[in-house]
């Protein structure tokens, strides 16, 4: 399997994350991608290629243009305001409040954020742009005939909504890739999100559309980030009714239960008969992930990679979360090797 | 003028505020009230009395019961979750997200917050409860015949909405006092909010009601906290249409401009002919306030205190913001003395 990767992910290297009422070293850090690319090379998964540059259009096909302009200027605007830390919102348009977009950078941060653990810092936009290009290049490889591709995206994307960032995500890489596939011949795309966290951004983007089936397996939002999307009764709206499927699961869910949800999801994808499949691949379902609560073991990742291969669809793996530094590389590559071994 | 005050405000003594991407010593700190009560005694403003205890009912007459239960348990729940810092939300129900209330404390913090600079810490609820009693006791003094009373509330209240806290506020003291006056004979109450920041919580609480006229003079939310309420086109809804009046003003507004807005507000209050008047008294309009941008000088506070007295209404002053430690006591007492000298 070919891996698409760029060292430009290192441009996203924030110093602080708000966690437990403290500013800590971010869980989403450059070493994550370095561990994974190291493992790709160690097991000789396949060639590693630089992304091509598809420009801004595919990003603007998914995200609100004013939101993207905000992301591009936020760090500069924040510095101009004279603040000493990294850019973080402190107030947002809460219930019954106005949705007018403030001019002040603190106000705009709150308007465009859905979470505040994630700072915006020097290079954040540039890395997010490069990460989207990694996803786009992987998608194009499927168009060019590849059976499967691994887009080693960083920063991740699945929490980024039409016009909001948060949860370490700025541009929704999987959504950008899906739209590219639709714009280049595909009629239907399925996105299966196996990250521990609900892919609220992806759901938001495709909520009212029937050309993308979005299925997510995740920690119940009553208990887990992002807390405010991912309930089982969210099934899409308008034309998209029935094309969003959520499998929220409780703390301590083990692989047996998780795999039952996966098998249902795979059957639903088979029924949908998409032209291509995108996996939002987070490995924070691992039993010792520091910020999650599922109980998958390393060998389970191999098993479910093989399960996904039974769909026999051209498949793009887009890297999302996974924060147990020592093990994410093994678990990620296990999924890819499990998939390849069963293909 | 009698002052109502309790040392229980000291129970609100959080260590951290999120400001400029850093955790700093809170601007809203116990010394604020100590400076002001010191000045009350220095100038012999009048007697200083402990509040009576009106219990929970007047608080629950304004705020959502589940929100109050959340405030009561938040610090304990946060500690039980094992976090090391003070309680702060990191994610909230943003645009197009679910309003289901999570079970997890991190989720509930996000549900019930409208801002995250304000931590919840040991004693926060107890101080907020005591602060509301200070406001209630002042309101009752008006019922008992006082012409004016100063409720030296801390923590402040005007940012606290029906079911949300933030901006250093937890219980809306002015709103609780207004409701007490309505429940004990008044037909109409006017609340004039002269704090630098828009009184979004008070507006939210009385948005659809015609028995409370809410008028706020404040920094334009396009430029100033709370950023998402306080625009001039917000005039109330339903029965409350016309009973919310906002005067947003731009950076560097001086006293001349501010006083013109005040004069219009006073004329509107006179037209409304309320039984009693509540002043949400913040002195962060001062030219050297560290987090605001109006340009009032100390003598201007005396002038506008006298302006308010021309209404000749029983008047309750409820303390809100003001963060320039060295000067807030002078400016606060200047308002009260200006009022008294013109009464
Ligand atoms: Zn995740
Ligand atoms: Zn204020």
Residue A313 included in any domain: yes
* Count of structural domains within chain A: 1
Residue A148 has what pLDDT?
98
B115 inside 8 A of chain A by CB: yes
In a domain, A201, yes or no: yes
Instruction: Considering every ligand atom shown, identify the ligand nearest to the alpha carbon of residue A199 and give its number.
Output: 1
DSSP classification of residue A51: P
Of B90, B167, B226, the CB nearest to A116: B90
CA of B37 to the centre of ligand 1 (A): 50
Domain that holds residue B36: 2-15+23-64+122-342
Q: Does A87 touch chain B (CB under 8 A)?
A: yes
User: How confident is the model over A173-195, as a mean pLDDT?
Assistant: 98
A225 and B85 within 8 Å at the Cβ level: the answer is no
CB atoms within 10 A of CB A162: 17
Determine, yes or no, domain membership for B163. Answer: yes
Task: Read off the DSSP letter of residue A102.
Answer: P
Return the pLDDT at B326. Answer: 81
Q: Which ligand is nearest the CA of B219, by number?
A: 2
Ligand nearest to the CA of A284: 1
Q: Report d(CA A173, CA A153) in Å as an integer.
A: 8
| Position A9 confidence tier, pLDDT thresholds 50, 70, 90 | very high
Instruction: For residues A46-67, give the mean pLDDT.
Output: 98
Q: What are phi and psi of B318, to 5 degrees?
A: -110, 120
Q: What gap in Å lies between CA B232 and CA A306, rounded to an integer?
A: 60
Angle between helices B173-183 and B124-143 (to 10 degrees): 40
Q: Is A233 on the interface with B (CB under 8 A)?
A: no
> Coil, strand, or helix at residue A9?
helix
Tell me the two tokens of residue B122. 């040991």
CA B229 / ligand 2 centre spacing (Å): 14
Q: Identify whether A276 is part of a domain.
A: yes
A250/A235 Cα distance (integer angstroms): 19
Q: What is the percent of chain A where pLDDT is above 70?
A: 100
Does B169 contact chain A (CB < 8 Å)? no
Whether ipTM exceeds 0.85: yes
Mutation for B interface: A20, A75, A94, most B CBs within 10 A: A94
pLDDT of residue B89: 98
State CA B278 to chain mean position distance.
11
Token duo for residue A201: 């951004």
Mapped to the 3 state alphabet, what secondary structure does chain B carry?
A: CEEECCHHHHHCCCCCEEECCEEECCCCCHHHHHHHHHHHHHCCCCCEECCCCCCCHHHHCCCCHHHHHHHHHHHHHHHHCCCCCCECCCECCCCCCCCCCCCCHHHHHHHHECECCECECCCHHHHHHHHHHHHHHHHHHHHCCCCEEEECCCCCCCCCECCEEECCECCCHHHHHHHHHHHCCCCCEEEEECCCCCCHHHHHHHCCCCCEEEEEEEECCCCCCCCCCCCCCCCCCHHHCCCEEEEEECCCCCHHHHHHHHHHHHHHHHHHCCCEEEEEECCCCECCCCCCCCCECHHHHHHHHHHHHCCCCCEEEEECCCCCHHHHHHHHHHHHHHHHHHC
Cα A94 from Cα A79, distance rounded (Å): 26
Q: Is the pLDDT of residue A263 over 90?
A: yes
The catalytic residue positions of B are: 159
Task: Report chain B residues whose CB lies below 8 A from the CB of A24.
Answer: none
Assess whether pLDDT exceeds 90 at residue B325. Answer: no
Decide: B276 and B316 in contact? Cβ < 8 Å.
yes
Check B228 against A94: CB less than 8 A apart: yes
pLDDT tens-place string over residues B65-81? 999 999 999 999 999 99
Asked if residue B156 belongs to a domain, the reply is yes
Report chain B's mean pLDDT, rounded to a whole number. 98
The three-state secondary structure class of A310 is coil
Q: Is residue B112 part of a domain?
A: no
- Span from the CA of B324 to the centroid of ligand 2 (angstroms): 11
Q: Over 90: is that where the pLDDT of A324 sits?
A: no
Separation between Cα atoms, residue B168 and residue B120, nearest integer Å: 9
Interchain CB distance below 8 Å, A21 and B117: no
Choose from B22, B90, B160, B230 for mutation: most chain A CBs within 10 A: B90
**A289-312 pLDDT, tens per residue?**
998 999 999 999 999 999 999 999
B250 at the A interface (CB within 8 A)?
A: no
Q: Which of A23, A111, A164 sits opposite B23 (nearest CB)?
A: A23
Q: Residues 17..76 of B with a Cβ closer than 8 Å to A: which? A: 18-23
Query: What is the distance between the alpha carbons of residues B116 and B92, in angstroms, rounded to a whole number?
Result: 10
The reply to whether B46 falls in a domain is yes
Contact B233/A at CB under 8 A:
no
Q: What confidence tens digit (pLDDT) does each residue in A203-215 have? A: 999 999 999 999 9
Which tens digits make up the pLDDT trace of A225-237? Answer: 999 999 999 999 9
What pLDDT digit, counting tens, does each position of B86-143 carry? 999 999 999 999 999 999 999 999 999 999 999 999 999 999 999 999 999 999 999 9
Task: Identify the band that residue B284 occupies on the pLDDT scale cut at 50, 70 and 90.
Answer: very high
- Express each pLDDT in A249-261 by its tens digit: 999 999 999 999 9
Task: Indicate which CATH number applies to the domain containing B254.
Answer: 3.40.800.20
Across the range A76-94, mean pLDDT stands at 98
From A19, A115, A119, residue closest to B21, measured CB to CB: A119
Q: Which candidate in A90, A103, A161 is best for mutational testing of the B interface (most B CBs within 10 A)?
A: A90
Q: Give first-to-last CA distance, chain B, whole Å.
A: 11
* Distance in Å, CA B267 to ligand 2 centroid: 24
What would the two tokens of residue A282 be?
Answer: 């987070």
Which of the ligands is closest to the CA of residue A291? 1
Q: From CA B169, how far away is CA B124, in angstroms rounded?
A: 10
Nearest-angstrom CA–CA distance, A223 and B81:
12
Inter-residue contact A204 to A212 (CB < 8 Å): no
Q: In a 10 Å sphere around its CB, with 0-12 CB exposed, 13-18 middle and 19+ buried, how is residue B306 labelled?
A: middle
Closest A-chain CA to B78: A20
For residue B104, give the chain A residue with the closest CA.
A223
- Position A326 scores a pLDDT of 81
- Any idea what DSSP says for residue A22? E
Judged by DSSP in three states, A226 sits in: coil
Disruptive mutation site among A18, A21, A66, A162 for chain B (greatest number of B CBs within 10 Å): A21
Tell me which residue in A18, A94, A223 faces B103 most closely, judged by beta carbons. Answer: A223
Q: Does the structure show a pLDDT above 90 at B324?
A: no
Query: What is the reported pLDDT for A88?
Result: 98
- The string of pLDDT tens digits covering residues B142-193 is 999 999 999 999 999 999 999 999 999 999 999 999 999 999 999 999 999 9
| In-domain check, residue A86 | no
Residue B167 Cα to ligand 2 midpoint, Å, equals 8
User: Nearest chain B Cα to A94, which residue?
Assistant: B114
Tell me, yes or no, if B222 comes closer than 8 A to chain A by beta carbon: yes
Indicate the burial class of B10 (C-beta count within 10 angstroms; 0-12, 13-18, 19 or more).
middle
- Say which of A18, A91, A166 has its CB closest to residue B114: A91
């Amino acid at each position: 399997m070919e891996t698409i990767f760029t060292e430009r992910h290192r441009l996203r290297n924030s110093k602080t994350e708000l966690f437990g009422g403290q500013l800590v070293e971010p869980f989403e850090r450059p070493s994550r991608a370095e561990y994974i690319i190291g493992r790709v090379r160690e097991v000789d998964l396949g060639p590693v290629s630089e992304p091509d540059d598809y420009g801004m259009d595919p990003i603007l096909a998914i995200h609100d243009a004013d939101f993207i302009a905000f992301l591009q200027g936020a760090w500069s605007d924040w510095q101009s305001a004279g603040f000493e830390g990294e850019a973080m919102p402190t107030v947002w348009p809460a219930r019954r409040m106005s949705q007018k977009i403030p001019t002040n950078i603190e106000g705009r941060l709150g308007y465009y954020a859905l979470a505040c653990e994630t700072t915006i810092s020097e290079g954040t936009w540039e890395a997010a742009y490069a990460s989207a290009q990694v996803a786009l290049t992987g998608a194009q490889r499927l168009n060019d005939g590849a059976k499967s591709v691994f887009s080693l995206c960083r920063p991740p994307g699945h929490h980024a909504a039409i016009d909001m960032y948060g949860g370490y995500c700025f541009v929704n890489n999987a959504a950008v890739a899906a739209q590219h596939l639709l714009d280049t011949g595909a009629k239907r795309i399925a996105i299966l999100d196996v990250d521990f966290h609900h892919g609220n951004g992806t759901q938001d983007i495709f909520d009212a559309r029937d050309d993308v089936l979005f299925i997510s397996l995740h920690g119940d939002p009553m208990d887990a980030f992002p807390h405010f999307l991912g309930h089982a009764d969210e099934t899409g709206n308008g034309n998209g009714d029935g094309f969003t499927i959520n499998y929220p699961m409780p703390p301590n869910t083990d692989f047996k239960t998780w795999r039952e949800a996966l098998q249902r999801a795979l059957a639903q994808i088979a029924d949908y008969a998409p032209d291509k499949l995108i996996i939002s691949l987070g490995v924070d379902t691992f039993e010792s992930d520091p910020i999650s609560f599922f109980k998958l073991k390393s060998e389970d990742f191999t098993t479910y990679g093989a399960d996904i291969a039974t769909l026999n669809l051209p498949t793009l793996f887009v890297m999302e979360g996974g924060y147990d530094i020592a093990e994410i590389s093994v678990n990620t590559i296990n999924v890819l090797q499990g998939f390849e071994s069963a293909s």
